Structure 1
């Protein structure tokens, strides 16, 4: 497996993991008070948006080659970092 394929698989696996965690947080939010649910929904919307951005980066990575792949990889890594930060923020708020 080449480096490009390894990165693509890594990102796809992490996307699936993040989606499962978003689903878990959504279920947790349903059991919260009405005021808390509003805050949780805002947080979940942000997570879904970041996840969608990450998905778009992964799709671009899949179709890129050569130097374009290197550029797309940098964009995907930035989106990855932003998504990781958003997930940590959400985890801390949902505790």
Structure 2
């Protein structure tokens, strides 16, 4: 099993990557047609909320111990899975 410090760094790296991904998607959304741009902005807001939630949980993880640690790890893993799905869907829409 991955140790605490490695996991915290992994989460921070994910959040940093999400920030880069969001910047790329924002640029593509801005270039989209006006009718599609509104939908993209809505989806971007959802992705930002997920990123913010992950950042909040990362801060909680730094303080968590025992069962609380396991709970936060499980929660952040679920957030990561949801991010991958949502990001992939939006990226595909912007390609199409």
- State the TM-score, normalizing by the size of structure 1: 0.90
Moved over 3 A (4+): none
| 1:61 alignment counterpart | 61
| 2:16 alignment counterpart | 16
Q: Which moved more, 1:11-20 or 1:61-70?
A: 61-70
> Separation in 1 of the partners of 2:50 and 2:41?
14
Return the offset for 1:55: 1.3
Return the offset for 1:70: 1.4
| 1:88 alignment counterpart | 88
Q: How many residues align?
A: 94
- What residue ranges of structure 1 are gaps of 5+ in the alignment? none
- What residue ranges of structure 2 are gaps of 5+ in the alignment? none
- State the TM-score, normalizing by the size of structure 2: 0.89
